[in-house]
Chain A
Amino acid sequence: MASTFEWGMDSGTAISSPAKGTTRTVPSTIDAWKSIDDPSTAHASAPVSRGENSFERFTFAKFSGSWTSVAALKWAHTSGALPVGTTIKGIVTNTYVTPSETANVALTTDMSTPIAISSGAAVLVCNAGPEENATATASKLSSTANPAYSQYLVTQLQTTDSAEAGTLGAMEFTLSYDEQ
């Protein structure tokens, strides 16, 4: 009904201009920070070790189906606490880089603490893909073109040597949008 919403993710070496991942997976069904950059390996087979970081995840939303306009996208960590010694860093961007386990200093937002979605990061709407070189003009705050995509919603789990061992608890990362 209404819009058809799918999560997607890019992975692999950066290719093309503007850059995107070698592999684009839509829909993307495995959602976890892992020690491998691929869309299919289960988290249990590639956990992040204490003192190391996950590969960045380049997630995005794809809208298709039937809708007239999509607008006012926001993105946030909305519930679930992180254990000691772990942080989630993130950024909303059109820039894809080849994922790695190195702490990515370009991820300037500390998303470790849950916030209300109304205070989430603004996300632009792209028509060519999440890599589209969009700037915050009115035409990119909403879109009537179908399909449409969000920008990349990039996150990385970063840990210290003091991180507690075990599995992360349940967390919600939420995308909010308006549609007509």
Chain B
Amino acid sequence: MNIPYELKFLFDVRYLNGTVYKQNEQDVSERDPTKSCYACIDHSNIDVFSLRGADACVSVVPREGEIYMNGEVAFRIDEPVVEVPKVYYWRNVSIDKNMNVLQVIYKIGLSFVNSAGKQVDKFFQLA
């Protein structure tokens, strides 16, 4: 039995060389059908990672340490980091014993290690 929910938000990735990779609606990797599209991302060459839905778009620019909400800067890392920040992307699914999906929350943002060596996750939640 498949999880009875459709992806409300789909991601796309623009790489530094200008090419674009888009998540498909089935969320199945073209390389490995046991994996989702997230496994196909080349994380070392991301320019912009965007999560798009009908009424919201959140974009993450790891090399700039910025998160944009509908085109406006919503967060910018304002402290030294020890390496290029990484994209933070998860879907949180809550499901009850009767197979009812109660909630799907999309989490998108940045994960980075600050100068004190602490991992910091800054993300927005979309439902």
Please, how many angstroms separate the alpha-carbon atoms of A175 and B102 in the complex?
A: 10
What chain A residues lie within 8 Å of B33 (beta carbons)?
66
Binds A, one of B47-55, B74-82, B91-99: B91-99
Contact B97 A1 (CB under 8 A): no
What chain A residues lie within 8 Å of B12 (beta carbons)?
none
Tally of B interface residues using CB under 8 Å: 30
Using an 8 Å CB-CB cutoff, how does the interface string of A158-178 with B read, 1 for contact, 0 for none? 000000000000001111111
| B127 CB–A CB distance under 8 Å | no
Using an 8 Å CB-CB cutoff, how does the interface string of A97-138 with B read, 1 for contact, 0 for none? 000000000000000000001000000000000000000000
Contact B90 A71 (CB under 8 A): yes
Using an 8 Å CB-CB cutoff, how does the interface string of A3-23 with B read, 1 for contact, 0 for none? 111110000000000000000
Known contacts A117-B94, A178-B91, A180-B91; is-contact A172 B102 (Cβ 8 Å): yes
Please, how many angstroms separate the alpha-carbon atoms of A129 and B101 in the complex?
A: 23
| B26 CB–A CB distance under 8 Å | yes
B59-114: which residues lie under 8 A (CB-CB) from chain A?
Answer: 89-99, 102, 107
B75 to chain A, nearest CB (A): 20
22 A-B pairs (CB sep. < 8 Å): A1-B25, A2-B7, A2-B36, A3-B3, A3-B36, A4-B2, A5-B93, A6-B1, A66-B28, A66-B29, A66-B36, A68-B38, A72-B90, A172-B102, A174-B94, A174-B96, A174-B97, A175-B94, A175-B96, A176-B94, A177-B92, A178-B93
Query: Taking beta carbons and an 8 Å cutoff, which residues of B are in contact with A?
Result: 1-3, 5-7, 25-29, 33-36, 38-39, 89-99, 102, 107
Query: Taking beta carbons and an 8 Å cutoff, which residues of A are in contact with B?
Result: 1-7, 27, 31, 59, 65-69, 71-72, 78, 117, 146, 172-180
* A-B pairs with lowest CB-CB distance, top 7: A178-B90, A180-B38, A68-B39, A68-B38, A176-B94, A66-B28, A31-B97
